[in-house]
A = this chain, B = another copy of it.
Amino acid sequence: MTVTISQIAAQTRVSPRAVSYALNGQPGVSEATRQRIQQTAREMGYRPNAAARSMRSAKTGHIGVLVRNDNSDRLTHLMTFETILGINQGLEDAGYVLSLVRIGDVQKGLSSGSRVFTEQVLDGIIVLCEMPDQLDRKVQRLIPNVIWLESQSWGDQYCLRRDEAEAGRLCAQHMLALGYRSLVYINHPGNASEADRSAYSAIARLQGVREVADGAGVPVAEVPFVYDKPSGFDQMAKLFSQITPEVAVVVGQAYHARWLSHAASAAGLNPPHDFGLCCCDDGYDVSMMWPGLSRVSFDRYGLGVAAADMMCQRLDRPDDDCPSQTVAGQWVPGNTAWGPNHAALSARLTGPDSRP
């Protein structure tokens, strides 16, 4: 059924060696036979057997991307997909295939997990989630080349992260510049399971906000936020009852901004008329669906490409230095925070499009 090199060899009456050399563009075959072999291979619909190649070369050609998708948290942040597509682009350009891998039940370790942990399937893995250190070590032990992307692990090499503290600073700076003198920072409360997951980024963002606000003597009220539990609604209801146009609400994640926006809308409140709103993060979908959100923007796709490149360097030139990198976001002025003194009416007239 499937065509092999031997079959082509038989067909063209040469040795398998000649076929291999001819198809891989190596010298050692006359140009005439090379042409003849290539022609026949094309006609027969030959495609190399990846497994056989892999066995010879001791390289699988597969790179994993590890996402958090255990049973307690079936869906990681969907925005991760944007980064994954960037990784995919980068890997594909280098001839690798991307294997999606999820962490199995974290409690069980990796026992019930993917085949990539029980067999030799991957040349390397990009860790795109936060997980307990113990699990991190397990991954390092089972899979040869690891790159950490947006992970809690951080070392001198092979790590890549957004600059969360800078994002917090940018938000605070722009809110102050608009004239706000009262900030509310909304974030996940640090309960045990969630702290694992978003601790480093949430902490860094808040630090950035505080750093700038403290410097200007502006208070930052911290409001815990659980969007998927009834208690979260109560807290938001309380917030809405107290909010004024003089207050700027800063949220960490774009998901939080979305939740807040819809909840406020249902309560008849809209930024920037009734309060200021900005976000330390965004994603492609935000830039498309909510271009007016005042925010720090990160190129998650580009981050993925960069991580893929880092992996390729680690594989191709393992002895070269590959320093960890931090990527800064860009402030995007929107129409959800116009300052406490801005006439609400003009906001209403200007409409939804805030882009230049």
Q: Encode contact with B along A99-112: 1 for CB under 8 Å, 0 otherwise.
A: 11110000000000
Q: Does A332 contact B (CB under 8 A)?
A: no
Q: Does A29 contact B (CB under 8 A)?
A: no
Known: A50-B51, A62-B99, A264-B265. 16 other contacts (CB 8 A): A47-B142, A51-B55, A69-B85, A75-B85, A80-B81, A84-B100, A92-B114, A98-B99, A99-B99, A262-B293, A262-B352, A263-B292, A265-B271, A266-B336, A267-B351, A267-B352
- A74 partner residues in chain B, CB cutoff 8 A: 85, 89, 301
The count of residues in chain A whose C-beta lies closer than 8 Å to any C-beta of chain B is: 85
Most chain B CB within a 10 A radius of its CB, from A119, A258, A352? A352
Q: Identify which of B2, B53, B88 contacts A102 (C-beta below 8 A).
A: B88
Bound-state CA distance A301–B92 (Å) is: 26
Q: Identify which of B65, B85, B88, B268 contacts A270 (C-beta below 8 A).
A: B268
Q: Encode contact with B along A227-243: 1 for CB under 8 Å, 0 otherwise.
A: 11010010011001000
CB distance from A304 to the nearest CB of B (A): 11
Instruction: Name the residue on B nearest A101 (C-beta).
Output: B97
Binding site for B on A (CB under 8 A): 2, 47-55, 60-62, 65, 67, 69, 74-76, 78-82, 84-85, 88-89, 92, 95-102, 113-116, 118-121, 142, 227-228, 230, 233, 236-237, 240, 255, 258-259, 261-268, 270-271, 273, 283-285, 288-290, 292-293, 301, 335-336, 347-348, 350-354
Known: A50-B60, A79-B78. A351 touches B85 (CB 8 A): no
- A113 partner residues in chain B, CB cutoff 8 A: 92
Bound-state CA distance A48–B118 (Å) is: 8
- A348 partner residues in chain B, CB cutoff 8 A: 267-268
- A49 partner residues in chain B, CB cutoff 8 A: 55, 119-120
State whether A301 touches B75 (Cβ < 8 A).
Answer: yes
- A98 partner residues in chain B, CB cutoff 8 A: 99-100
Instruction: Name the residue on B nearest A61 (C-beta).
Output: B115
Q: Identify which of B51, B67, B262, B268 contacts A54 (C-beta below 8 A).
A: B51
Task: List 8 tightest A-B contacts by C-beta distance, closest first.
Answer: A81-B81, A263-B352, A51-B54, A233-B353, A258-B289, A50-B119, A262-B290, A51-B55
State whether A102 touches B92 (Cβ < 8 A).
Answer: yes
- A84 partner residues in chain B, CB cutoff 8 A: 81, 100
State whether A352 touches B236 (Cβ < 8 A).
Answer: yes
Most chain B CB within a 10 A radius of its CB, from A98, A99, A120, A348? A120
Bound-state CA distance A69–B86 (Å) is: 10
Bound-state CA distance A69–B93 (Å) is: 13
State whether A52 touches B53 (Cβ < 8 A).
Answer: no
- A259 partner residues in chain B, CB cutoff 8 A: 288-290
Q: Identify which of B47, B80, B233 contacts A120 (C-beta below 8 A).
A: B47
